[in-house]
């Protein structure tokens, strides 16, 4: 007998107010602080989006953006003790486990009173945004048994990351595409990792504790981990001819297709459309179109299967991103850490917003267990 109404998985539940982002899941629209994602992807840069998310408004002019970028990039180096910790991690660890652990350590050199001022925490968020690419690149190179490549101040956020990861400065085209991917992943309302970060932040635990919890939530295959799984799926299918039997088999076993479906979107994810366009451009340029063809065929098969059923399962942002990153020369194990390099801005924006008028998150559970059971002391059982 239900004591209160409740919704499993909190689907559709409005848990708080926020000005940062909104999604129209039926129309397939996404806005950061009121600006449509398509426009931001076309006309903005990840640095400008970071400013927007951390300040709640766009930079007033080029000078303000340039000084923000200069400040942020000056924080790319990570503390020496954090470097030593990365070097001590087992090489076989998944980089998301390493990232979560290392973020938790980053507050250790901070004074106890972390939630002192909004400005203090905004500076910490800027530093985390600057350091995430370095952390992810160092974790990767440690796993590969390679020397760390120190950050360069003369490169953009996107180019510097790819340089630290692979040792090569990317072409202008790849730099731009990667920057757009960072814009697209920066923020997405109360997704699982952001909500996890807000829950931790609402206890007034510090920014590092909140962000490391968010990284842990992003790791899961139902959330950020889906892009890695989507690429594994494409690889295991192998050719477009095998897409139909693979789809039939997967559906008959009631298995999920990674990179499809969404809790909020009931149409194609607007970010997926933008990533697909970039994938198409790069795939044709490189003459490597098999992945794209497999993905397109799977999307078509899903559309046909659901026609007239009222069910809506469409490609989400993770469907195409893994194939695009692969063409950029990035290993699949780094896809979710790259998501984190971008989403650190959204997580921080939410935690700062919450702290401007904090209330502890503490929902109730629908209790379905028993009560008043007789307790037998252990020796009498
Ligand atoms: C994202 C996700 C967890 C949202 O799901 P949700 O709102 O909880 O919806 P459910 O998992 O309850 O699915 C509802 C129905 O759609 C089906 N469905 C949802 N996503 C599916 C997918 N990717 N492939 C096949 N079927 C899917 C479910 O099997 C279920 O069918 P049923 O009603 O016959 O049982 C889910 O779509 C999913 O697991 N997708 C794959 C992982 C992924 O891409 N995650 C990244 C999200 S950005």
- pLDDT band for 3, please (50, 70, 90 cuts): low
Which atom of ligand 1 has the smallest separation from the CA of 251?
25
Q: What is the pLDDT of residues 219-251, one digit of tens each?
A: 998 888 888 899 999 999 999 999 999 999 999
Are residue 76 and residue 193 in the same domain, yes or no? Answer: yes
CB 352 within 8 A of CB 125: yes
Give the Cα-Cα-Cα angle 333, 175, 335 (nearest 5 degrees). Answer: 15
Which protein residue has the closest C-alpha to ligand 1 atom 14? 261
261 in contact with ligand 1, CB cutoff 6 A: yes
215 and 82 in one domain?
yes
Indicate the top mutation candidate among 185, 219, 261 to test ligand 1's pocket, ranked by most ligand atoms within 8 A of CB.
261
Distance (angstroms) between ligand 1 centre and the Cα of 259 equals 9
The band of 2, judged by pLDDT with boundaries at 50, 70 and 90, is: low
Same domain for 153 and 288, yes or no, is: no
Please tell me whether residues 168 and 306 are part of one structural domain: no
Residue range 54-85, pLDDT digits in tens: 999 999 999 999 999 999 999 999 999 999 99
Please tell me if the CB atom of residue 126 comes closer than 6 angstroms to any atom of ligand 1.
no
Q: Is the pLDDT of residue 339 over 90?
A: yes
Is residue 80 in a domain? Answer: yes
pLDDT tens, position by position, 197-214? 999 999 999 999 999 999
By CB atoms closer than 10 A (0-12, 13-18, 19+), residue 374 is exposed
Same domain for 191 and 309, yes or no, is: no
User: Which residues belong to the active site?
Assistant: 223, 262, 318
323-330 average pLDDT score: 96
Query: How far does residue 348's CA lie from ligand 1's centre (Å)?
Result: 28
**What is the predicted pLDDT for the residue at 111?**
59
Whether the CB-CB separation of 170 and 159 falls below 8 Å is answered with: yes
pLDDT at site 225: 86
Q: What percent of the chain has pLDDT over 70?
A: 98
Q: How many domains does the chain have?
A: 2
Nearest protein Cα to ligand 1, atom 8: 263
Mean pLDDT of 272-300: 97
Over residues 97-122, the mean pLDDT reads 83
CA of 190 to the centre of ligand 1 (A): 17
**Residue 262 CB–ligand 1 contact under 6 Å:** yes
Helix or strand run (H / E) with residue 327: helix 317-327
Residue 209 lies in a domain: yes
The answer to whether the CB of 258 is under 6 A from ligand 1 is: yes
Q: Whose CA is nearest to atom 35 of ligand 1?
A: 254
- Taking all residues of the chain, what is their mean pLDDT, rounded to a whole number? 95
Query: Which pLDDT does position 117 carry in this prediction?
Result: 87
Distances (CA, A) of 251 to 70, 238, 244, 294: 50, 18, 11, 16
Mean pLDDT of 365-379: 96
The predicted-structure confidence for 130-172, as pLDDT tens digits, reads as follows 999 999 999 999 999 999 999 999 999 999 999 999 999 999 9
Q: Which pTM does this prediction carry? A: 0.94
Burial degree of 302 (CB within 10 A; 0-12, 13-18, 19+): buried
Q: How many CB atoms lie within 10 A of CB 65?
A: 18
Do 187 and 294 fall within a single domain? no
In a domain, 211, yes or no: yes
- Which of 11, 256, 311 for mutating ligand 1's site (highest number of atoms within 8 Å of CB)? 256
Task: Clarify whether residues 26 and 61 are in a common domain.
Answer: yes
How many Å lie between the centroid of ligand 1 and the Cα of residue 299?
14
What is the mean pLDDT of the segment spanning 310-322?
A: 94
* Residues 293, 299: Cα–Cα separation, whole Å: 10
Shared domain for 237 and 311, answered yes or no, is yes
Range of the domain at 201: 21-222+332-355
- CATH code, domain with 211: 1.10.580.10
CATH number of residue 316's parent domain = 1.10.230.10
175 lines ligand 1 (CB under 6 A): no
User: Which ligand 1 atom lies nearest to the CA of residue 311?
Assistant: 16
């Amino acid at each position: 007998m239900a004591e209160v109404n409740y919704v499993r998985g909190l689907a559709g539940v409005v848990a708080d107010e926020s000005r940062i982002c909104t999604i129209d899941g039926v129309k397939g629209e996404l806005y950061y602080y009121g600006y449509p994602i398509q426009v931001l992807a076309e006309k903005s840069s990840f640095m400008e989006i970071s400013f927007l998310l951390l300040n709640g408004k766009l930079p007033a002019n080029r000078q303000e953006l340039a000084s923000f970028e200069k400040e942020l990039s000056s924080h790319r180096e990570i503390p020496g003790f954090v470097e030593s910790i990365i070097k001590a991690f087992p090489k076989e660890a998944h980089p998301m486990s390493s990232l979560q652990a290392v973020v938790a350590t980053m507050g250790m050199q901070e004074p106890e009173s972390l939630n002192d001022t909004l400005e203090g925490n905004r500076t910490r968020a800027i530093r985390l945004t600057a350091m995430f690419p370095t952390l992810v690149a160092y974790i990767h190179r440690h796993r590969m048994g390679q020397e760390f490549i120190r950050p360069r101040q003369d490169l953009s956020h996107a180019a510097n990351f790819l340089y630290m990861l692979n040792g090569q400065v990317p072409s202008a085209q790849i730099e731009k595409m990667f920057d757009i991917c960072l814009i697209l992943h920066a923020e997405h309302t109360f997704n699982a990792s952001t909500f996890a970060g807000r829950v931790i932040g609402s206890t007034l635990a510090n920014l590092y504790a909140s962000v490391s919890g968010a990284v842990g939530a992003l790791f899961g295959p139902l959330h950020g981990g889906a892009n890695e799984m989507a690429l594994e799926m494409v690889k295991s299918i192998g050719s477009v001819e095998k897409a139909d039997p693979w789809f039939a088999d997967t559906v008959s076993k009631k298995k999920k297709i990674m990179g499809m479906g969404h809790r909020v979107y009931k149409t194609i994810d607007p970010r997926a459309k933008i990533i697909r366009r970039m994938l198409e451009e790069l795939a044709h340029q490189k003459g490597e179109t098999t992945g794209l063809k497999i993905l397109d065929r799977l999307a078509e098969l899903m559309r046909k299967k659901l026609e007239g059923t009222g069910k809506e399962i469409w490609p989400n942002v993770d469907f195409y991103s893994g194939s695009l990153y692969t063409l950029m020369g990035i290993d699949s194990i780094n896809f979710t850490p790259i998501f984190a390099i971008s989403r650190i801005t959204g997580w921080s924006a939410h935690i700062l917003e919450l702290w401007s008028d904090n209330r502890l998150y503490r929902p109730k559970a629908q209790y379905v267990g028993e009560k008043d059971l007789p307790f037998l002391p252990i020796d009498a059982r």
